[in-house]
Structure 1
């Protein structure tokens, strides 16, 4: 089994002052940076995703705005790969599956934003395609929601999605419990 780190949409619009700030985005980025540092030290493949809105009425990740930019703390370094996407699922129209198969990566360590959208969609797709998935839950963040008059805090949204993904077959770990040195790399 070979492992790859997938960093999804840690972009400026999700942080305070951005167009769609998430609960816990700052602490999630700090944790994600720690995982990236470990991955870089162990030679683990790292793949970054950046969502770029394609809808004319988009309110965040609008091309040409600072909000669409990757948050500097987790910026890509050479030789890491970078994909852009226009869908919640990072496998849609990106070449991700082709890259993973070509490099014999069959275990994905997923982190990023949003727990309730792109982390969920990408992780479920990976599981459906036969990949092993580990989600670093404290390197992810979610928005608060409202449903039928009930306010759902971002931490509760995040917890619900992590529980559902664990139930679907993903390993859901804190960064402190992720030992990249024990995971196989190419």
Structure 2
């Protein structure tokens, strides 16, 4: 198909720290997202979609992702599968201080599919930067995830964080889709459509009107 997306699967920070370490992913359950990340990688490799592995690296004294630590290592689900390029970073976006932008240009990529962790941090930073660069972005909602947070601003559950960021992504920045539907789109060579700010707001307002009238 002449209009088929030229995809790359971006596997962000699937490291032991999020699974058996001190920053566990809570929602969706990490076992679910890990299985879907593996399925997405298998589908990409079968379809000839290049895979970029992204790895967060901290200082040796950092409490998480420390250089040389078990927590900082790639999880076996991704380390044991083939990928085409490795990006190591020390900031949230996979673009900042790395060769990712040039690698994508060299490989004529126009669509990024994001899996991995965390939805609201490294995934979000990468999605925003990619969207601003004119790339189409896909976010696999069941192959990503968040932990819960509490700080001076308040408390947010992992489910709330993941859900709200996913809704915002789909309104403008990324097409949010499940792994099954994404695999179907890869096999068909078709894009995954995203929503819009206006349509998202109109749907929410219609819901509110319906609730008020009930």
Shared fold per TM-score greater than 0.5: yes
Gaps of 5+ in 1: none
Alignment of 1:1-186 (within 5 A): 1-15=5-19, 17-23=20-26, 24-54=29-59, 58-75=62-79, 77-78=81-82, 80-148=84-152, 150-178=154-182, 179-183=185-189
Query: Which protein is richer in helix relative to its size?
Result: 2
Whole-angstrom distance in 2 between the partners of 1:37 and 1:73: 11
Whole-angstrom distance in 2 between the partners of 1:79 and 1:113: 17
Q: Let me know the Cα RMSD of the aligned residues.
A: 1.7
Q: Secondary structure at the match of 2:38?
A: helix
State the shift of 1:22 in Å: 1.4
Greater RCO, 1 or 2 (C-alpha within 8 Å, sep 6+): 1
Q: How many residues align?
A: 182
TM-score, normalization: structure 2?
0.80
